[in-house]
Amino acid sequence: MYLNNIIEAIGNTPLVKLNSVTDGVKATILAKVEYFNPGNSVKDRMALRMIEDAEKAGILKPGGTIIEGTSGNTGMGLALAAIAKGYKCIFTMSDKQSKEKMDILRAVGAEVLVCPTNVSPDHPDSYYSVAKRLNQEIPNSFYPNQYDNLSNTAAHYETSGPEIWKQTEGKITHFAAGVGTGGTICGISKYLKEQNPAIQAIGLDTYGSVFKKYKETGIFDENEIYAYATEGIGEDILPKNVDFSLIDTFIKVTDKDAALMTRRLAKEEGLFVGWSCGSAVYGAMEYAREHLTENDTMVIVLPDHGTRYLAKIYNDDWMKAQGYLD
């Protein structure tokens, strides 16, 4: 048996028990390891779905150009699908993203435009605005807009959610994931809650992001917004894919705690994962120590692979310069 192209390898990623970083936790803690997707991240799932839905709707036509603002992983998923289907790709990224992510995207044939991080989302130079402008200027182009494109949530409702339910034989009681575009957590949460409404969904946020306060107060507080280093989670906007009714609680995790937990996952669990994976596990363990019993089973989504962060969290000099290592 063989696959006809690389995108047929997307999905059916393993669930792996965490044994070492779970100190003080009585529950069974399982990690959904998404770097087993061919683009090494969870975003392969929704990237393919956004392209397929655009093709069906007649928005994306043969020979077209896919233009997207990405922190790297969605771009990789889109690029692999584009190779299999014959499209060109242009990606805008903020300058805080790792150089590895930019190099990887260029390696798979994408054009990458780097934009400043410290501007508002509606500023003409922001990576959101530049992507939108290019979409208007370039004929036969498609702007997936992963933040507001509900195909993002649908991909996880139809693939990740059913996989987790089946892999845990319906024993899952709690589910945790970082929140960026919101598609992963909301798609999975929607599916799981339909199977068992008692399942709790825990969203992991970062300091400098608006999600937690908005969930708790309904207030979009611009004073909550400031620069943070963690890549791939948190936002200074409210994406349409974030359905707050599907997320029961939010926990914020610092850049340092996330980076150190990411390193622990590599060293103690053999899971060479990305930065936001550390955020997810650190925050989920805080929640688990307080709320979970030996009768509970928690699944945590680990979104991507450590190769995206070699010059940052896996580099001792960089970690020391940030004050994360003594």
At 4-19, the pLDDT tens digits run 999 999 999 999 999 9
The predicted pLDDT at position 250 comes to 97
- Residue 87 pLDDT class (50, 70, 90 cuts): very high
The predicted pLDDT at position 121 comes to 85
The predicted pLDDT at position 97 comes to 83
At 201-224, the pLDDT tens digits run 999 999 999 999 999 999 999 889
Choice among 17, 32, 43, 193 that is catalytic: 43
| Residue 43 is among the residues annotated as catalytic for this protein | yes
Q: Yes or no: say if 4 and 38 are a contact pair by the CB < 8 Å rule.
A: no
The predicted pLDDT at position 117 comes to 87
The predicted pLDDT at position 99 comes to 86
**Which of 34, 35, 33, 29 lies closest to 285, judged by CA?**
29
Full-model pTM: 0.95
Strand-strand pairing, 28-33 and 15-17: antiparallel
Domains and CATH numbers, the chain: 6-41+150-322 (3.40.50.1100), 43-142 (3.40.50.1100)
At 188-198, the pLDDT tens digits run 999 999 999 99
- Estimate the crossing angle of helix 183-195 against helix 160-167, to 10 degrees: 50
What percent helix, strand, coil does the chain show, rounded to 5? 45, 15, 40
Q: Distance between CA 88 and CA 255 in Å, rounded? A: 34
